[in-house]
Amino acid sequence: MRSQVRSTHRSTRRSSRAVALALTATLTTGLLGACSGDGAGGDDGAGGGITLRVGVFGQFGFEEAGLYDAYEDLHPGITIEQDSVTENGDYIAQLRTRLAQNSGLADIQAIEVGNIAEMTGELSDAWVDFGEYGDVDTSHFAPWKIAQATDPEGRIIGLGTDMGPTGICYRTDYFEQAGLPTDRAEVGALFAGGWDAYLAAGADFAAEGPADVAYMDAAGGMFNAVVSGFEERYYDDAGEIVYQDSEAVATAWDLAVEASEAGLTDGQQQFTEEWDRAFANGAFATVASCPAWMLGYIQEKAGEAGRGLWDVADSPTPSNWGGSFIGVPEAGEHREEAVALAAWLTAPEQQARLFTERGSYPSSTTAQQSPEVLDATHPYFGDAPIGRIFGAAAERIPSSPIGPYEQVIQEGITDGLLLVDQGGESPGDAWDEVVSGLDNALAE
């Protein structure tokens, strides 16, 4: 276990925090939402303004959607700079080191959902408690999203940026060639019988569809789609690791193996260059776990050739894949101003904007019910009513315990499925390798 980080920067005066925050969180109107003010707070130079640094991984969307520029317009004394690391694996390793050293941290740091349990556990004291700031409204977030970012002492160390309700993305042209329905409502009804129905449609596709096109991209994707629909996966409510005895893992593993052995997969490893090229080449007909944020990924990788050919339908068992938080490190120089910015970036108005512009589905239930979200469509996906599709899925997302080794376990199992999907290894031998590898990884 890593040593617990104890910060020496914790403020003991809640009233002074509220006053400082009020200077930077006055309500305004319109889509850009909540706050304006004079940027009072720290002084970064002779001009009297301050610079807030935001550390993220990948394309988080804040900068791309123009939210930083909008906030700066509302707060002339504040400048925002973003540092982005491409891969979350590299980002989180860097973040752990900087939290342990209590230095080099941005004023706001992103946290992927797979890492939130670690941050609310042994590293919790390295983060400010948003609950100590009276002007930060957390009531608009989905309750389970707030629960994920709350430590055992009741401290809220992260504000949710988005969540990942899932559907199934599919190629209408390939479905038509296979004699399967193409209308998204009919496709959803086809899959409504559960994951067995999804695989049965895959058998029909394999028999009648294009010979050079696989039904789905990856066994690992199938596993993720199924396992994420259960209330208990890798951890139980007591925080114990239970993946070896988990019904969710056993069910998802067996279905993923069945798909692979039936020749329904393209043998891909997701988020690799080969997977990206497979999208561009039209190598498969479905993506079994397709959260809202995946639509933008597919559009980028499949390109203009795929416009109007991809669509999205209801999943047999909606689940959540992905979603992130932003937190404010205690070591930051401008904590009050950073808290105000974090609250503004995750306010309902900004979450709605991120969904309509970037496909990041809101973790704010208020944003979810806004007309901008409910009425959203996606032109690339045949004007699919994505606000309604993912909104309905979000209502059915199970609340699952998350532990500090969530990502390690998930990746260990999907790596094991690659041995089956790509290497032809027997499922039993592959599972033994999964357990052996995780035993070593979790013992470190």
pLDDT in tens, 308-352: 999 999 999 989 999 999 999 999 999 999 999 999 999 999 999
**Two tokens, residue 357:** 């512009």
- Is residue 24 scored above 50 in pLDDT? no
Among 12-26, 62-76, 271-285, 412-426, the range scoring the smallest mean pLDDT is 12-26
**At residue 204, what is the residue type?**
D
User: Quick check: helix, strand or coil at residue 28?
Assistant: coil
**Band of the pLDDT at 18, cuts 50, 70, 90?**
very low
What H or E segment, with its residue span, contains residue 344?
helix 335-345
Over residues 230-243, the mean pLDDT reads 95
Q: What is the mean pLDDT of the chain?
A: 89
- Mapped to the 3 state alphabet, what secondary structure does 218-275 carry? CHHHHHHHHHCCCCCCCECCCCCECHHHCHHHHHHHHHHHHHHHCCCECCCCCCCHHH
- Is residue 32 scored above 90 in pLDDT? no
Over residues 23-50, the mean pLDDT reads 42
**pLDDT confidence of residue 180:** 98
Among 36-45, 65-74, 306-315, the range scoring the smallest mean pLDDT is 36-45
- Is residue 22 scored above 50 in pLDDT? no
**pLDDT confidence of residue 398:** 87
Select the more confidently predicted residue: 355 or 39.
Answer: 355
**pLDDT confidence of residue 202:** 98
Residues 6+ apart with CB under 8 A from 430: 416, 417, 419, 420
**pLDDT confidence of residue 269:** 96
Select the more confidently predicted residue: 308 or 12.
Answer: 308
Over residues 8-37, the mean pLDDT reads 33
Among 44-48, 261-265, 388-392, 393-397, the range scoring the smallest mean pLDDT is 44-48
**Band of the pLDDT at 444, cuts 50, 70, 90?**
confident
Render pLDDT for 118-173 as a digit per residue (tens, 0 to 9).
Answer: 999 999 999 999 999 999 999 999 999 999 999 999 999 999 999 999 999 999 99
**Two tokens, residue 384:** 């699919």
Phi, psi of 323 (to 5 degrees): 115, 150
Over residues 8-22, the mean pLDDT reads 33
Domains of the chain listed by start with CATH number: 14-163+323-369 (3.40.190.10), 166-319+383-443 (3.40.190.10)
State pTM to two decimals.
Answer: 0.85
Render pLDDT for 412-438 as a digit per residue (tens, 0 to 9).
Answer: 999 999 999 998 999 999 999 999 999
Are 159 and 138 in contact, with CB atoms under 8 Å apart?
A: yes
**Two tokens, residue 12:** 């003991």
**pLDDT confidence of residue 48:** 61
**At residue 17, what is the residue type?**
R
Other C-beta atoms closer than 10 Å to the C-beta of 207 total 9
Most confident of 30-34, 126-130, 401-405: 126-130
**Band of the pLDDT at 7, cuts 50, 70, 90?**
very low
Measured distance CA(184)–CA(423) in Å, rounded: 34
Measured distance CA(98)–CA(104) in Å, rounded: 6
Q: Which of 415, 361, 409, 373 is nearest to 31 (CA)?
A: 373
**pLDDT confidence of residue 399:** 84
Residues 6+ apart with CB under 8 A from 207: none
What H or E segment, with its residue span, contains residue 197?
helix 195-208
Are 115 and 92 in contact, with CB atoms under 8 Å apart?
A: yes
Place of tokens 């296979």: 178
